[in-house]
Amino acid sequence: MTRVLIAYAGDYGNTEKMANACAEGIEQVEGMTCLMKHADKVRLEDMRDSDGLIVGTPVHMGCMDWRVKKMIDTISSGLWMQDLMNGKVGGVFTTGSGYGNAGGGCELTMLAMLNSFAELGLLIVPLPKMTVDFGLGGHHWGPYGRSASPSGNHVGVSEEALNVARVHGANVARAALAVKGAEIFKAE
């Protein structure tokens, strides 16, 4: 069985809703299974033993949640030193409520996480603009869920954003299936 790990952090349940939607997308793909964990519960073995990784975070002051950053800093360094993530696939998503259509900082936060993915040797799975509801919940880097109105009132993530997250989960799952077992980064 091919497995994708979803690691996330959040404060109000919106990021968890997006993570659940990604998990639904993953499990719609035949031959796939999903392990979903809060970032502070993820272990090195969870990442190492997965064929793909999706990380989700709310945006805090234009950056990822501290628990996601801690997971990356404490777990990923050991994986990076041993080249244990090379050739696996990865995707990201965010939730945000700041100014701007997607919520301030969503794109920068996705890029920060994807930078860590590149360091690990992950094959990055983007979000195609042809995805249904892309304009209401997507960036080319991945899905986002706007969790507040433009005036700052909490409204939760939209069904359109959750739909985009489901598609992204399925895309990451199909990519994981396609590359599992392939020796893409074989050291010479």
145 found inside a domain: yes
Torsion of CA 42, 44, 49, 53, to 10 degrees: 50
Helices (H), the chain: 14-27, 44-48, 66-71, 77-81, 106-120, 134-137, 159-179
184 found inside a domain: no
Q: What pLDDT is recorded for position 183? A: 62
pTM recorded for the entire structure: 0.93
At a CB cut-off of 8 Å and minimum separation 6, what does 168 contact? 22, 25, 54, 91, 93, 125, 127, 131, 142, 143
**Residues of the chain with pLDDT > 90: what percent?**
72
Beta pairing partners, 94: 57, 144
93 found inside a domain: yes
The Cα 150–Cα 170 span in angstroms is: 30
pLDDT interval class at 101 (50, 70, 90)? low
147 found inside a domain: yes
Give the range of the structural domain holding residue 149, as residue numbers without chain letter.
2-179
Tell me, what CATH number does 146's domain have? 3.40.50.360
First vs last Cα of the chain: how many Å apart? 28
The Cα 8–Cα 40 span in angstroms is: 9
185 found inside a domain: no
The Cα 88–Cα 53 span in angstroms is: 8
The Cα 24–Cα 64 span in angstroms is: 23
Q: For residues 136 and 161, is the Cβ–Cβ distance under 8 A?
A: yes
102 found inside a domain: yes
Tally of domains within the chain: 1
Per-residue pLDDT reduced to its tens digit, 53-78: 999 999 988 889 999 999 999 998 88
* Residue position matching structure tokens 């919520």: 103
| 56: helix, strand or coil | strand
92 found inside a domain: yes
Per-residue pLDDT reduced to its tens digit, 91-100: 999 998 876 6
Q: What pLDDT is recorded for position 62? A: 85
187 found inside a domain: no
Per-residue pLDDT reduced to its tens digit, 110-168: 999 999 999 999 999 999 999 998 888 888 999 999 887 777 778 889 999 999 999 99
| 174: helix, strand or coil | helix
The Cα 21–Cα 172 span in angstroms is: 13
